[in-house]
Amino acid sequence: MKLSGIPQVIIKDNTTEVTIRKIKFFGPTYTPKALTTVPDVNSNGIPELAVLGVDKEGNVIVQRRDASNPQLEMNITFFDSNFRPEGITSMQDIDGNGIPEIAVLAIRKSDGVAQVRIRDAVTRVLLKSINYPRN
Distance CA 104, CA 56 (A): 19
What is the smallest separation between the CB atom of 35 and Ca ion, expressed in angstroms? 16
User: Would you say 51 or 120 has its CB closer to Ca ion?
Assistant: 120
What is the smallest separation between the CB atom of 128 and Ca ion, expressed in angstroms? 11
User: Would you say 24 or 84 has its CB closer to Ca ion?
Assistant: 24
Whole-angstrom CA distances from 24 to 6, 27, 29, 42, 48 are 7, 8, 13, 19, 13
User: Would you say 40 or 73 has its CB closer to Ca ion?
Assistant: 40
38 HSE (CA, 13 A, CB side): 33
User: Would you say 3 or 20 has its CB closer to Ca ion?
Assistant: 20
What is the smallest separation between the CB atom of 60 and Ca ion, expressed in angstroms? 20
What is the smallest separation between the CB atom of 48 and Ca ion, expressed in angstroms? 5
Contacts with Ca ion, residue ranges (CB under 5 A): 40, 42, 44, 46, 66, 93, 95, 97, 99, 120
Sort residue 43 into left (φ over 0), alpha (ψ -120 to 50) or beta: left
